[in-house]
Amino acid sequence: MKVSGIHLAGIAACLPELYTTERAVAEGKYDEQDREDAGIESVTFAGETTGPDLAVAAAKTAVARSGHRPEDFGALLHSSVHFQGPDGWSAQHYVLRHTIDRPVTAVEVRQGCLGMLSALELAACRLMAAPEQPAVLLTSGDNFSTPLVDRWRASKLFLLGDAGAAAVVSRRPGFARVLAVGSVSTPSMEELHRGGEPMFPPGPTVGRTLNLEDRREFWRQEWARGVPPPMGNFGDTVAAAAHRTLAEAGLTMADITRVAHIGFSQLPLHASFLDPLDIDAKRGIWEFTRTTGHLGSADPVAGLEHLWKTGQVSAGDHVMVIGASPGMEAGCAIVEITGSRYAEGEGDHA
């Protein structure tokens, strides 16, 4: 979707302390061979800080950087991957209360790791359709330190890191302009992430933990029995989303300075993102994601903020922000950097 007059006025990530994979191996939580294969040096670890509180911390900084006042906001869109708090409770309204605290709609975007990019698309639509309130606040927050997921062994594709992230999407100029945003899905691949797990009762209600490796093993065994797995290719879906969004922005891959991708481990990152986009790790943000792990839906904003804060992109540069989620769906945004490099402490929330 090509957009007009939509900007990122402020972004921020809340990244807690690092927990090294070397330490995890020494403590028996992670296998050394898996560590070598993944290439991940550390993950962010929040201890007992809740996902919504990580989102609140990031949101306060993003709003401060944006220059917007609370009354400018018409909505809050909150994304998460893991459990947020008490069952039947509204994390998004908690985040709303502790940030802009306005009587506006607060919506949870349940789109897995693609949550913030999907929320960006929804925010752009809202701002173009209803310009009387010039800003929408996007937030995300997850803490994977619960008994229902083993961050070290849930998947060979990634290691889970805790984080909060926020973005102020605005009709006023900020540090970047959104040129296009959209997504492509391959619903025939839905069953890959379900495997042989029963749909009812839902796994968490009977104490079943998240283990994507078990579901992959289910399909390996089915294939060995002569039952073909659902058809589709992860990388093809990513490439389709990227090239369609580039075309809508009027650009080609040659115009893209850097790519902010999600935090997959080394081999899956190449197979699913870098190779389909025909770029190397240096044009991506591997040097960053190998230190944080996979931050759920916070990945795209955390990666873009990293490029901006470290001065790796400057005014006039184009950045591709890309991610994916089970479904299977891939999303992409093309942004043009329009502001000067962020200065440490400038607009930060104490």
* 211 and 153 in a common domain: no
Say yes or no: 163 and 218 in one domain.
Answer: no
Residue 104 to residue 150: CA distance in whole angstroms: 36
Give the list of residues 6+ apart from residue 318 with CB closer than 8 angstroms, or none.
179, 249, 251, 255, 256, 257, 334, 335, 336, 337
Give the separation between CA 263 and CA 130, rounded to whole angstroms: 34
Sign of the torsion formed by the C-alpha atoms of 263, 265, 267 and 268: negative
Task: Count other Cβ atoms within 10 Å, centred on residue 329.
Answer: 24
| CB hemisphere CA count around 188 (13 angstroms) | 8
In this structure, are 200 and 169 located in the same domain? no
List, for residues 78-136, the tens digit of each pLDDT value: 999 999 999 999 999 999 999 999 999 999 999 999 999 999 999 999 999 988 899 99
Q: Is there a single domain that holds both residue 69 and residue 206?
A: no
Helix, strand, coil percentages (3-state) for the chain, rounded to 5, are 40, 20, 40
Is residue 269 one of the residues assigned to a domain?
no
Q: For the chain, what's the residue count?
A: 350
Q: How many domains does the chain have?
A: 2
Q: Is residue 164 part of a domain?
A: yes
Domain match, 73 and 196 both: no
Q: pTM of the full predicted structure?
A: 0.93
Are residues 22 and 161 both part of a single domain? Answer: yes
- 149 and 218 in a single domain? The answer is no
Domain span at residue 218 reads 188-224
Assigned domain for 313 exists: no
Token pair of 211 as six digits: 């283990």
For 293-334, how does the pLDDT look when each residue is reduced to its tens digit (9 = 90+)?
A: 999 999 999 999 999 999 999 999 999 999 999 989 999 999
Same domain for 193 and 45: no
The DSSP bridge pattern shows strands 176-185 and 258-260 to be unpaired
By the 8 A CB rule, do 337 and 176 touch?
Answer: yes
Average pLDDT over residues 54-72: 97
Cα gap 249→256, rounded to integer Å? 11
Torsion angle, alpha carbons of 169, 332, 272, 278, to 10? -120
In a domain, 109, yes or no: yes
Question: How does pLDDT run across 126-171, given as a tens digit for each residue?
Answer: 999 988 899 999 999 999 999 999 999 999 999 999 999 999 999 9
